[in-house]
A and B are shown apart, each in its own frame.
Chain A
């Protein structure tokens, strides 16, 4: 089976940088993804890492270390609209994504 651990809550102020960590245990590994969910709405895809290293997409970056079974999502120049839940997810087989329990990010002025 698969299991993922991420902090339940992170707080930060506008303009700051925040890092959300994710560790995983899985039999078979095909990549680590990140999704964002606002107020219980539709989760939306943010990023995907299959290989070690950093992937940058605008203010968001995602990192993966396969040897450490570890990744993180880095959010820069935080804005109030970034307040949301962030989920890491692993694909361990052909089809199914397994999600972590999510990290609620609270951005304050």
Chain B
């Protein structure tokens, strides 16, 4: 049973370009979460999605960032017009329908570097 798959592992973008980060959840998981991690920092929640629905986007910056989880295919985190401050590791996690004890299963992350 494959785990959470994220790609690419590393992504380099120049300022002003777009970054697209992909996440395929574990088989059987229909809930996806995106977190951002800066060096020496914790994981900051960005967005929680189910298939075709955004459940909670309270951690997502209002501008330039968007996320989707279509009926078919991976979840996509999209960052438009990237700036240097967007450089970070972006982790995706998945879970079955969450109850209080549903652990999150994380992917290996995408390391975004904005030059």
Give me the interface of A with B, judged by CB distance under 8 Å.
30-31, 33, 35, 40-45, 48, 50, 87, 91, 94-102
Q: Is the CB of B56 within 8 A of A96?
A: yes
B108 cross-chain contacts in A, Cβ below 8 A: 41-42
B56 cross-chain contacts in A, Cβ below 8 A: 95-96
Nearest B-chain residue to A102, judged by Cβ: B42
Task: Return the CB mask of B89-102 against A: 1 if under 8 Å, else 0.
Answer: 10101000010110
Cα–Cα, bound, A87→B37 (Å): 12
Q: Please tell me the number of chain B residues within 8 Å of chain A, measured between CB atoms.
A: 29
Cα–Cα, bound, A95→B108 (Å): 21
B69 cross-chain contacts in A, Cβ below 8 A: none
Closest 8 CB pairs of A and B: A45-B103, A101-B42, A42-B106, A99-B43, A99-B42, A30-B100, A43-B106, A42-B108
Q: Is the CB of B41 within 8 A of A101?
A: yes
B43 cross-chain contacts in A, Cβ below 8 A: 43, 87, 99
Known: A40-B89, A42-B106. A48 touches B45 (CB 8 A): no
Q: Is the CB of A31 within 8 A of B100?
A: yes
Q: 26 A-B residue contacts at CB 8 Å?
A: A30-B100, A33-B103, A40-B37, A40-B109, A42-B3, A42-B4, A42-B108, A43-B43, A43-B91, A43-B93, A43-B104, A45-B103, A45-B104, A45-B105, A48-B103, A91-B100, A94-B98, A95-B56, A95-B98, A96-B33, A97-B33, A97-B45, A99-B42, A99-B43, A99-B44, A101-B41
